[in-house]
Amino acid sequence: MYERRHEKLLPVRAFAHRMLRHAAAAALVAAASLGLGVLGYHGLAGLPWVDALLNAAMILGGMGPVDALHGDGAKVFASAYALFSGTVFLVVMAIVLTPVLHRTLHAFHVENSREAKA
């Protein structure tokens, strides 16, 4: 998927396609996580679909809950979903930043290998 040490840097157009693929993967992870939160808030907290979406989006975005939860199961779910959302944030950022970091490190290595050959 990524070029190796001895290979040249990926052309800009191909790199843009790689970034789009990674952005799509990150969006899928975020959408699946949001869907899980909506289902949990709707099923366990008994919130209407729109309110469940609002609460899940706010937790996933790091803003915090909107509605007060009354059942123990709903509170446990909200706690677990909040911890899960923090991990999802890290995973999404890793998916998006990996191609950029790889390209940067690869560019440094390409320059060093050219200097070593000279």
- Model pLDDT for residues 13-40, shown as the tens digit of each residue: 999 999 999 999 999 999 999 999 999 9
Greatest alpha-carbon pair distance for the chain in Å reads 70
Structure tokens at 39: 């289902």
Mark the ranges of the chain whose per-residue pLDDT is less than 50: none
Fold of 22-117: Helix Hairpins (1.10.287)
Return the pLDDT at 113. Answer: 52
Contact by Cβ (8 Å): 15, 99: yes
Whether the CB-CB separation of 54 and 41 falls below 8 Å is answered with: no
Structural contact between residues 8 and 107, judged by C-beta atoms closer than 8 angstroms: no
* Alpha helices (H) along the chain: 12-45, 49-60, 72-117
